[in-house]
Structure 1
Amino acid sequence: MAAPRITDGVEAESTETGSTQPNPSSGDFKRPQFGTRFLTDPRQVFQHNAWDNVEWTEEQEKAAKKKVSENNHPLPPEKQEEYDNRANEYWNEFYTIHENRFFKDRHWLFTEFPELAPQCNTNHEPHPDTSSSDINQQNGCDKKQSRDFAPSSGDNCDFPGSSATYRILEVGCGVGNTVFPILKTNNDSGLFVYCCDFSSTAVELVKTNPEYDLNRCFAFVHDLSDAEASFPFPDETLDVIVLIFVLSALHPDKMQASISRLARLLKPGGVMLLRDYGRYDMAQLRFKKGRCLSENFYVRGDGTRVYFFTQDELHELFTAAGLEKVQNLVDRRLQVNRGKQLTMYRVWIQCKYRKAS
């Protein structure tokens, strides 16, 4: 389980994988997709660590709405501004405290988001005109640009990973709990993974990880809420953008511009993948009075912030950015602590939206 002060995003990923599964390195490993384990007999509730698509009773939903309504007393504007101005400081402190004490098992990614799995890009081979010397030259450019950050048009290569045939960006990468499983699982020579985070501390932890390989990955600091901030690659470059419990950390007023900016980075046919907090998740109901910043937007005890979405809100954000819906589902899960005989209701939303070809 996660360390006591780890925020709900990490708590979420530490519990959402359910009961113990076989080692993913074994050839016959296959993690069940979410939505396949149903609780039909309440007497069996403690048989597994989690149950999928648990229907709430009318009383449960009414109690959740009442709890949220009772705590909906926003902090004074000056206090809200302080949390906004010091957001970078709070996230740096978070990663300084916790460093690598995070749950690492994200193999569910390849079940829920097969776009990240090797079989999705096995057809993306290097261009036949690309020689091994070109690739080595490209690798050298990547290393140079990782120091300089801004691509130079005078170089033979335009940006880190420019020779890749399949490019993935994770926004809000933290310490690399998504990036490194992708790199370890996917040996496609045409794959290149970008990862960025608001916290310079988190990015430094990624770069110092022994599995960080400049030939296949490029980590950089980026403020997603700044729609004018540049990226180290051009628009319409990426095949996949991943956002795992990260959009919820932004101020609601900055979400639309952020998603619209990310959408411009996708190639035609590229997809944006999201998993984040849903309305009335246990984490939302746990907040006490004095933690509300605005409707459904809260500040945790460590100063980091979190928003709780509805499906419609996310649909509006993505479609306003010009993307088409592939998937938008709510995952209501019953988490079980079998040792303490406790049950906890989690609500997450999972989305896939595609840029028109």
Structure 2
Amino acid sequence: MAAPVDGKRQAFGSRFLSDPANVFRHNAWDNVEWSEEQAAAAEKKVQENSTQRVCPERQVDYEVNAHKYWNDFYKIHENGFFKDRHWLFTEFPELAPTQNENYLKDLHLENKRNEVPECRSSDSGSDLTIKEQHKCSTSLGHKIQKPPVEEDVTQKLSHLMVCTDDFPGSSATYRILEVGCGVGNTVFPILQTNSDPGLFVYCCDFSSTAIELVQTNSEYDPSRCFAFVHDLCDEDQHYPMPKESLDVIVLIFVLSAIVPDKMQKAICRLSKLLKPGGMMLLRDYGRYDMAQLRFKKGQCLSGNFYVRGDGTRVYFFTQGMKNIIFIFAKNT
């Protein structure tokens, strides 16, 4: 993305192209729509590169050895793959320090009103239209919020139980988990911009090599952050924090890396970690992204699901499919 002329980055939703000479000022314009010709060309390209599918034997290999392919990816790129996500706090203000501070004030008041002594825990452990495509040609963002529920005294006690449990970040008052953290592209900006002593950030990744790179980063502070290896799709693996203990869960370009049939269950399990009123923030690849159009024949695994040359996989979403996944998680 080209640097803004005035030095300030415009918020999403306010980037309107009025002078064609400035077409390269941003990587997307909020008022620019695809023509019917562009839409037809993109759809034709996807149909062409999807005609030849990867053979079943290779598909099994990409699934069974997915950890190997991602470890190899990070061994090659290491921290050189760290990218400055200029849009992080613009698109997700919930991760910005001011949001945390306001939330903490409200949470502190609520906890004071409901304070209970000696609490102990027994539980550990619409399809995107072509005309909308210009807004999502790089990625799609979505937020789901776990609604507060009507609680009796027993339920209120269970929500407060996490306060005395012995788990990483148990004394924190605001907890964020990033799934698929890579080398820390989201985690470290959060830690660098937020000095709140009540903040604790968890981060996990499928790749042990990625987690090693996070833990050996000079910005990694074990008193404020806990990095661990985790397979999002493994139903037998447990997270190191109890249920209903997290304020925010972040997944950025993560769902797209797993088999589509496993997405709903993965999100459902994650949603159980959120406090009532907690937020799940997601950003991922949109249908007809240039990355999808560039694939050659023979790299398609299934509809809109591809394997890259390095063995890692990627799915391209419509808004409709993501809504189905989120509604499923929200209602469980």
Q: Which range, TM-score by smaller chain?
A: 0.7 to 0.9
Alignment match, 1:5: none
Alignment match, 1:174: 182
The reply on whether 1:319 has 2:327 as its aligned counterpart is yes
Alignment match, 1:282: 290
- The equivalences for 1:1-357 within 5 A come to 18-20=1-3, 31-46=9-24, 48-53=25-30, 54-72=32-50, 73-123=52-102, 124=104, 157-322=165-330
Once the two structures are TM-superposed, the CA of residue 211 in structure 1 deviates from its matched residue by 0.9
Helix, strand or coil at the partner of 2:79:
coil
Give 1:264's aligned amino acid. K
User: What are structure 1's unaligned runs of at least 5 residues?
Assistant: 1-17, 23-27, 129-149, 324-354
Helix, strand or coil at the partner of 1:99:
helix
- 2: CA distance, partners of 1:263 / 1:321: 6
Once the two structures are TM-superposed, the CA of residue 102 in structure 1 deviates from its matched residue by 2.3
Give 1:312's aligned amino acid. G
Task: Indicate conservation of the 8 Å contact 1:38/1:51, yes or no.
Answer: no
Q: Deviations over 1:136-178 (max 9, x none)?
A: xxxxxxxxxxxxxx98xxxx74210011110000000000010
Larger RCO, structure (CA 8 Å, separation 6 or more): 2
1:209/1:64 CA distance change after superposition, 3 Å? same
Once the two structures are TM-superposed, the CA of residue 49 in structure 1 deviates from its matched residue by 4.1
Once the two structures are TM-superposed, the CA of residue 45 in structure 1 deviates from its matched residue by 2.2
TM-score w.r.t. structure 1 length? 0.73
Give 2:44's aligned amino acid. K
TM-score w.r.t. structure 2 length? 0.78
Q: What value does the CA root-mean-square deviation take over the aligned residues? A: 2.3
Once the two structures are TM-superposed, the CA of residue 44 in structure 1 deviates from its matched residue by 3.7
User: What are structure 2's unaligned runs of at least 5 residues?
Assistant: 110-123, 126-163
Report percent identity of matched pairs.
Answer: 68
Give 1:112's aligned amino acid. E
Once the two structures are TM-superposed, the CA of residue 109 in structure 1 deviates from its matched residue by 1.1
1:229/1:21 CA distance change after superposition, 3 Å? farther
- 1: CA distance, partners of 2:85 / 2:236: 31
Task: Indicate conservation of the 8 Å contact 2:82/2:183, yes or no.
Answer: no
- 1: CA distance, partners of 2:261 / 2:204: 21
Alignment match, 1:143: none
Number of residue-to-residue matches in the alignment: 277
More strand by share: 1
1:101/1:56 CA distance change after superposition, 3 Å? same
Task: Indicate conservation of the 8 Å contact 2:206/2:230, yes or no.
Answer: yes
Task: Indicate conservation of the 8 Å contact 1:107/1:181, yes or no.
Answer: no
More helix by share: 2
Once the two structures are TM-superposed, the CA of residue 52 in structure 1 deviates from its matched residue by 1.9
Task: Indicate conservation of the 8 Å contact 1:169/1:241, yes or no.
Answer: yes
Alignment match, 2:128: none
Once the two structures are TM-superposed, the CA of residue 76 in structure 1 deviates from its matched residue by 1.5
- 1: CA distance, partners of 2:76 / 2:193: 29
Q: Deviations over 1:190-214 (max 9, x none)?
A: 1000000000000000000111111
